[in-house]
Chain A
Amino acid sequence: MKPPAPVSFFRERFGLDDGSLSRALATALDGPADAADLFFEYTTRDAVVLEESIVKSGDRHLSQGVGVRVVAGEKQGYAHSDEIDAQSLVLAAKTARAIAAGRASARSVAVRGPGAPARDLYPVGRAPTDAPIAVKVQLLEQIDAYARSRDARVREVLASLVCQNRHMLLAASDGSFVADVQPLLRLNVQVIAESPSGRREVARQGGGGRFELGHLLLPAYWQPLVDEAVRLALLNLEAVPCPAGAMDVVLGPGWPGVLLHEAVGHGLEGDFVRKGTSTFAGRLGQRVAAPGVTVVDDGTLPGRRGSLNVDDEGTPTQRTTLIEDGILVGFLQDRLNARLLGVAPTGNGRRESYAHLPMPRMTNTFMLAGHDDPADIVRSVSRGLYAVNFSGGQVDITNGKFVFAASEAYRIEDGRITAPVKGATLIGNGPDALTHVSRIGFDLALDRGEGTCGKDGQSVPVGVGMPTIRIDGITVGGTER
């Protein structure tokens, strides 16, 4: 039987057959190990960047390598190499084994498994990195001209398009054997506007996902993104200082879902839970959010930036409910932490590349829709903040404190949205913040495909989403009383 295309890719390029994989795994397992896996990666990436109306550079990068992991109890040995051949593989396996240490107990390993994921969430005809550079250059030139045509106050446009195609193959000692090809597109637009008085402001918008490049090249895709960047830059020219202190905040739909990512998401990752360093450890079944709040992590949404057919340990991704009607019901697991906690992996074992150990990570994390009219939610606030765009956040999972920085926000006065305010950081306490959610809109939206999450020095693409919600009494880090 002909192997699935992603598997053949590695066989043909690196001459790896089932025999060499089995031998490497057997070498890795030759000790007191519980499990071993091999992770192969071959990633091509190209990027074009425009500034000052010039596409100043075209980039093309190739990264390839293999990581061998041996797990013994809570201990992991990892060796990686950017040379992929049978010899380096066995050498890496020996190193990983020696690291995980101990007595010998030879074991044989058969590599089986289907070879291909059970589904394809991102079928693309041609890899985005195979498209000619000229169409990518042309897109950025169109974006530049379009942005400048929108308003005379647009002074500078910075645009970039990054296309990536990642081939991965995972073979593990439990027989898991799967390969996948993961395309990823990311378009960024930054607009700098200047008022006649000389005030300058910047705004950024991004979008993308795992879909055909042709879709991203359509004006119907990129023009709204550029319009939004221009609108925000001009809006920022009018922004007044942000109020400071605890107040009621209405968060708009979509990207503000970064709140969930920081306030609860990281604290529900299985490694922190197992080690007891997360403030959410041991709170399963307890109330951590207001009634009506349901939060899920879903790696199975077609074409989305945070989605994967299988995670980087070969586990199919899934939809995991984390908080149901305000009660904590689930954690995010990779294989190691699932095994040590005696639960099933949830398809959240991810790594930045072959040079990194997998860890429990989020995919697309969002809150399900409620029943309230978003306009009513705003009207319900007498004095507060309406925040609709954010530039990112951070959390201390041990004390639960999280921050996220607003890039578009307005004052709410007597139930009406009034002046735009300068960017401010919102700060809160993870296990507590969602218990103050008092209204949930019916307008669930996901972000445009721009999220990147960092943990322990590893970056992975993620998605977030949320309907409009109201949170009572959260601290807004502005400058005005």
Chain B
Amino acid sequence: MIDPDRVRHAVEAAKRAGADAADAIQLASESVEARVRGDEIDYVKQAREHALGLRAFVRGARGLATALVSTSDLSHAAIEGLAQDAVALARATTQDPDAGLPSDGFARDWPELELFDPHDRDVPLDTQLAEAREAEAAARAVDPRIVNSEGTSVGSSFDAVAYASTAGFEGHYEGAHHSLVSSPVAAENGSMQTDYWLTAARRRSALDSPASVGRRAAERALAQLGARRVPTQQAPVIFEAPAARAVLGNLVGCLSGGAVYRKTSFLAGKLGERIASDAVTVIDDGRRPGGLGSRPFDAEGQATRRTGLVERGRLASFLLDVYSARKLGLRSTGNAARGAASAPSVAPTNLWLEPGRASLEELIRSTERGLLVTGLFGQGFNAVTGDFSRGARGFWIERGERAHPVEEITVAGNLADLLRDVDRVANDLLWLGSLGAPSFRVAQLTVAGDSA
């Protein structure tokens, strides 16, 4: 699927063109994606894509100057031209004493990461379409109030990555990504609600059954019917796993080395300090077998690994690529990610919040009055200060039970306070993609809705 000679050629061409150092990444993918509504196909999309990105460094008195070029034209002539462009561009940018390739930390060997199943290539499109129809049918069968659907999407992609650099590292690997997402619509008394559920995995055999996905999506949409606002107040808030994952996503941005050295993260300068309650442990592991974020090496050839980020409330590590590590006087954690047309930047691999012991239902039962958030939306988060304010939906809890669904409310506070106020973490760790989170409870946040 991929020819590692191409990246080697690109790196050598850059050197010939005058680069002092260079690295190249090639990405290739073959994918199919389809959406079914009811029994009918909405669309089917097939694609073959490939692209090559080349980074060139030119040495000057004050460090290396950098340029990044990319193309989807992989002909020999195009790559030669690309190398010339890269070097010319690098000569126009500013030298940076911290720029450059890593000299060690490269991946040497790695365990079987179970990134794909070769048999999955032989699965016909009709099978996937049938699975989508099955999810749609299962959703409809849950309740007559499931009246419509935004569709069930199925997709498979087979991807290959090759990387080479003048620092002496070369490697390539293949992986696959399969998914099914269902979004039914429930209606009652003239108002509609939708929600979604999904399954995603590196191997088709690891996917949840289409019917279970459709059912769960339908149950979530139905449960939201009749939702209303609640008065503005301070209240304990339980984030159900999917919403907990969204909060974790905000935290990830603040743990990223780029935001830390730029001091655009409220966690800058807090390494080793207590930033959360004892209940909070966050881990990133690039070598979790079958993990959607697993890879043997990162976009700079660095070995991926397991990194404890928050250990029982203490900030143990940031997520780092080579550049941010140099800026902070630390070592890369193997978290560089890039596309062909983007410079390496920090990204999590498989990152999760460690589950606790109690079930979600126990968390709800032990909450006298409060809010269970099942979904968050909007981007209201300021990483510099940690302030957040996001739209929410879910259930109002009275006397330890779900009293009624709620919508058109916000939850707001500060992420630093939220982390310290996490009093219980549930045992329902849920992976949706490469981020995993269990439900957790926060002692108090501001819920805004109707006038108090």
Q: Which residues of A contact B (CB under 8 A)?
A: 45, 48, 51, 54-65, 74-82, 95-96, 99-100, 132-134, 137, 155-156, 158, 192, 200-202, 242, 244-247, 275-277, 279, 355, 357, 391-394, 396, 398-399, 401-405, 422-425, 427-429, 475-481
Contact = CB atoms under 8 A, between A and B. Distances in A.
Contacts of A425: 378, 380, 389-391, 410, 412
A62 B71 contact: yes
B22 to A, nearest CB: 13
A393 B379 CA distance: 7
Nearest to B88: A133
Interface residues on B, range: 35 or more
Interface stretch (B12-20, B92-100, B101-109, B354-362): B92-100
Contacts of A74: 40, 42
A56 B93 contact: yes
Contacts of A137: 92-94
Contacts of A423: 380, 382, 387, 389
A391 B69 CA distance: 30
Contacts of A399: 191-194, 224, 227, 407
B76 interface: no
Interface in B80-94: 85-86, 89-90, 92-94
A241 to B, nearest CB: 9
Which of A54, A80, A96, A424 has the most chain B CB atoms inside 10 A of its CB? A54
Given A55-B93, A61-B69, A65-B49, 7 more contacts: A59-B67, A59-B70, A61-B341, A80-B45, A99-B44, A246-B451, A277-B148
Contacts of A62: 70-73
B264 interface: yes
B450 interface: yes
B390 A63 contact: no
A424 B412 contact: yes
B303 interface: no
Contact of B47 (A81, A277, A394): A81
A279 B148 CA distance: 12
Given A79-B46, A427-B408, A404 B446 contact: no
Contacts, number: 246
B378 A57 contact: no
B121 interface: no
A357 B45 contact: yes
A403 B72 contact: no
Given A59-B69, A133-B89, A78 B49 contact: no
A63 B389 contact: no
B263 A200 contact: yes
A156 B259 CA distance: 12
A475 B448 contact: yes
Contact of B408 (A95, A200, A398, A429): A429
B96 A54 contact: yes
B68 A57 contact: yes
Q: How would you classify the secondary structure of chain A's contact residues: helix, strand, loop or mixed?
A: strand
Nearest to B125: A99
A394 B379 contact: yes
Given A200-B385, A398-B192, A477-B391, A403 B341 contact: no
A355 B150 contact: no
Contacts of A401: 377, 391, 393, 407-408
B430 interface: no
A48 B193 CA distance: 44
A56 B71 contact: no
Contacts of A75: 40-43
B92 A58 contact: yes
Contacts of B46: 78-80, 95-96, 99
Contacts of B413: 479
Interface string B421-441: 000000000000000000000
Interface in B351-392: 377-380, 382, 384-385, 387, 389-391
A218 B389 CA distance: 37
A355 B49 CA distance: 9
Nearest to A133: B92
B128 interface: no
Per CB-CB distance, the 9 closest pairs between chain A and chain B, nearest first, are A477-B410, A403-B378, A403-B391, A245-B232, A244-B448, A405-B380, A425-B380, A82-B72, A76-B43
A476 B390 CA distance: 10
Contact of B185 (A48, A200, A277): A277
A156 B391 contact: no
A477 B41 contact: no
B410 A427 contact: yes
A64 B194 contact: no
Contacts of A396: 194, 377
Contact of B452 (A100, A245, A357, A427): A245
Interface string B185-224: 1000001111000000000000000000000000000001
B42 A82 contact: no
Contacts of A422: 382, 385, 387
Contact of A477 (B73, B92, B412): B412
Given A156-B262, A398-B150, A478-B446, A61 B412 contact: no
Contacts of B89: 58-60, 133
Tell me which of B47, B86, B384, B391 has the highest count of chain A C-beta atoms within 10 A of its own C-beta.
B391
Contact of B44 (A55, A60, A77): A77
A64 B43 contact: no
B378 A398 contact: no
A80 B47 contact: yes
Contact of A192 (B44, B72, B263, B411): B263
A51 B66 CA distance: 14
B51 interface: yes
B48 interface: yes
Given A396-B194, A424-B412, A245 B449 contact: yes
A244 B448 CA distance: 5
26 contacts: A56-B94, A58-B67, A58-B90, A65-B72, A75-B40, A79-B45, A82-B51, A132-B92, A200-B384, A201-B384, A244-B232, A244-B410, A244-B412, A355-B49, A392-B379, A393-B378, A402-B391, A403-B410, A405-B379, A405-B389, A424-B380, A425-B389, A427-B378, A477-B389, A477-B410, A478-B446
Nearest to A194: B263
Contact of A78 (B44, B67, B93, B341): B44
B93 A57 contact: yes
A91 to B, nearest CB: 10
Contacts of A391: 379-380
Nearest to A46: B89
A16 to B, nearest CB: 16
B412 A478 contact: yes
A78 B382 CA distance: 39
Contacts of A357: 43, 45
A156 B390 CA distance: 27
B40 A245 contact: no
A403 B392 CA distance: 10
A384 B112 CA distance: 59
B333 to A, nearest CB: 21
B404 to A, nearest CB: 15
B19 to A, nearest CB: 13
A120 to B, nearest CB: 28
B37 interface: yes
B389 A277 contact: no
B446 A244 contact: yes
Given A76-B43, A478-B412, A58 B93 contact: yes
